[in-house]
Chains A and B, each alone.
Chain A
């Protein structure tokens, strides 16, 4: 079938529904938020329409730079961990029998049904001194006495990776299923060990997918605001936690909106940078 460019106005009709949905549920709320971010805050939790930059000026402090830096670092680390675990896992998964694949997929999808709150409290129990996994290690004779693993940075990271991993695998799965299994076999007949074949053939052949997955997990992790509060110390709180705090507990809508807009801009900049670097390397290769 030959696709022709739309000629008449009515040819664009199928675009109307997605365009309306996007406008109502994305453009308008986001526009409102941008507008509010320039509003003037009134004492007592209200704000009046204005056009001031004072909300943005508050960022220019070491405190916010630290929080932003930590948020980005955490999101990047979660993305790298998820891809580092997800790619080999999904690769092995696609080589299993159909039956085993279904069992794994159902298990992974069931993790998605858990809310962030449940995941947070489940891990805080697992990391606790009284009922946590260290008790198991003591029973096995690997540790002297049980210790608390939370709150702490490793606890936050673990729970966030746990939460994002099913998404990672679901995004990677179709690309890995489509990957020609003879590519690895060909590499092996050319003298590459299975591990070497994986890193010299599977990973480079999937670099676009891997890059897309990194970006997706990065954005997903940036939005996390419950797990850092449940499992981390205040220095592990992300910008998302501060936004929630300002919006809900401090009733400072304009400042929360400004932070959200700022976070979106930084995120877009990071994504653009990643894509730019990825494209440049592809051109060089």
Chain B
């Protein structure tokens, strides 16, 4: 099969298991974001794909070939490090030409490829500048270009944009995605920034404690999280305890919700996105009654903090659908069963 396949990949550091039996298949040309809190094993997984760390057990295949024991320099991949790792003693052009130079490529070929890549990253004519004279964003681009010099089969990036300021980061996310689509290269990015993952990825892989919790498209991850960790980690959500009564109806915060499939074991967790909570007059049909504790008006969105018999909830609405609420007043909370997700407790 073309693309990257991880088979029961595991990595132990002493008694600590950093990556635990990971199973993943990345089709050729896909953009994958590995997302998770720090220490979840995502960087270790990336380093194993790069060959910088060896798996304790398991197998890594690239285009059908077993590369588990192939040394890094024979894997034909490009990697962008969090520190960028640009060679300080070389100029921009020499950095980009490095993979060609050590292979002994002719000077004309090196120069042609450097010019090509500099044009691609929108830095034409920068070949002779020392790396130290570049801005953060420019260094970022040079690191990306250098990783792509050999037209690798696999493009790996470890928290590539974390050193940039917020505005530049957002712009680079779009640029990186466009570049990847233009080149059609299989790309894996490690990040802890979910906006980054949602912007760029075809597939988001959510990891926690060395395991893959869910691997799916960004919308799928957001709309149908596999468990409470994913629901809570991607975006913000309200996690509410859910129960069933004797007739099999779903009970949420003391209110029977029709149209919600009752959990099998009786108890479950309901995940409701803040934008899926509608606020009405208290006492409306099917509404849960709560008290407004705080209103945060951010201009573009309005966040309403509600206390429902001890359980805090957050509702987000747009200014157009501005809820008629004020702090300390009761409010009716309506959960749309169509967009709620029932998760195992």
Contact = CB atoms under 8 A, between A and B. Distances in A.
28 contacts: A180-B85, A182-B85, A185-B85, A186-B85, A188-B52, A188-B71, A189-B52, A189-B72, A189-B73, A189-B78, A189-B79, A190-B73, A190-B78, A190-B99, A190-B102, A190-B147, A191-B76, A191-B102, A191-B103, A192-B98, A192-B102, A193-B71, A193-B73, A197-B73, A201-B87, A204-B90, A205-B89, A207-B89
B150 A182 contact: no
A177 B79 CA distance: 23
A187 interface: yes
A180 B83 contact: yes
Contacts of B72: 185, 188-189
B81 A185 contact: yes
B10 interface: no
Contact of B98 (A182, A185, A187, A205): A187
Nearest to A205: B89
**Which secondary structure dominates where chain B touches chain A?**
loop
Interface in B306-338: none
B50 interface: yes
Interface of B: 50-52, 71-73, 75-79, 81-83, 85, 87-90, 98-99, 102-103, 146-147, 149-150, 156
A205 B88 CA distance: 7
Contact of B73 (A183, A192, A205, A285): A192
A48 interface: no
A189 to B, nearest CB: 4
A279 interface: no
A191 B99 contact: yes
A32 interface: no
A84 B290 CA distance: 75
Nearest to B91: A285
B150 A190 contact: yes
A188 B87 contact: no
Interface residues of A, number: 21
Nearest to A200: B102
Per CB-CB distance, the 6 closest pairs between chain A and chain B, nearest first, are A186-B85, A189-B79, A182-B85, A188-B72, A190-B99, A204-B89
A191 B147 CA distance: 10
B99 A186 contact: no
A201 B50 CA distance: 19
A285 B91 CA distance: 9
A196 interface: yes
A182 B160 CA distance: 13
Interface centre among B50, B71, B83, B150 (most CB of A within 10 A): B83
B73 A191 contact: yes
A285 B77 CA distance: 28
B83 A189 contact: no
A34 to B, nearest CB: 41
B150 A191 contact: yes
Given A185-B81, A200-B102, 9 more contacts: A186-B79, A186-B85, A188-B52, A189-B79, A191-B76, A191-B150, A193-B73, A204-B87, A204-B90
A276 B119 CA distance: 37
Contacts of A182: 81-83, 85
A185 B52 contact: yes
A189 B147 contact: yes
A208 to B, nearest CB: 9
Contact of B50 (A187, A189, A193, A207): A189
Nearest to A186: B85
Interface in A53-89: none
